[in-house]
Structure 1
């Protein structure tokens, strides 16, 4: 009986460790950009808020809509913007990480099939303590960037 109690206590400690960072994190406005037909990849964006007292890191993301999922950032390399994988996305204590186009984001690579506007993609974020949180990201059509107002030339 004593062994069973120790096993149960160990299991509870393990489950508590899995809850960890994920319990202190909320995700707002998750969405996946609708990819053009036959596009091999797209991005997911969201605001990750850390309500806890300790910094956390998102170290992995996964989803069933693509064969590969990576954490990415855009960097300026010699005046050229390039996408690069990152090992983790830091979310400071009582802070947030904003994943947006042209910045940090989740890449969905080698899409398994076409997505439709309004579909929902479950994305699981895994944190550095092993805990995880699933968010449902709605597939949305990218909004067109507004054209700058025409310049008026006066003589």
Structure 2
């Protein structure tokens, strides 16, 4: 009986202290030294019963940070900024290459694989989440890396 009580207490405590928004699998894209823009990707989970929104982001590695999406217009894939990104209740939204993403514009320094960046995210519930060590990865959009 005492075990059951402590197990129930643990479950209640963890749900009380769980963050309304959880960010996982974040990474930024490596770019060649001559490119001044990159992007960051991640999975954002909403643990609440109401829809939440990613409203913006910031990073010291870029002069400007925007939320973007890729859309098909006719036969052309285009990228455009969006005001916010929705995260449904008890669900997650994935920011990924070719879809929704955080755009890093006007890089202050080249992003190199193996290094990390700091990224701040701002949400509609007032939560600010600082990701202190977002890894930089080499990612080829729409292609798989093959050994030659």
Q: Does 1:41 align with 2:44?
A: no
- 2:46 aligns with 50
1 CA distance for matches of 2:75 and 2:50?
35
1:146 pairs with 134, 144, 147, which one? Answer: 144
| TM-score, normalised with respect to structure 2 | 0.80
- 1:99 aligns with 95
1:70 pairs with 62, 66, 82, which one? Answer: 66
CA contact (8 A) 2:29 2:111 kept: no
Bigger mean CA deviation after superposition, 122-131 or 91-100 = 122-131
- 1:129 aligns with 125
How much is the aligned-residue C-alpha RMSD, in angstroms? 1.9
1 CA distance for matches of 2:69 and 2:79?
6
- 2:25 aligns with 29
2:113 pairs with 104, 113, 117, which one? Answer: 117
2 CA distance for matches of 1:95 and 1:62?
24
| TM-score, normalised with respect to structure 1 | 0.77
1:140 Cα offset (Å): 0.8
Structure 1: stretches of 5+ with no match in the other structure? 1-21, 148-155
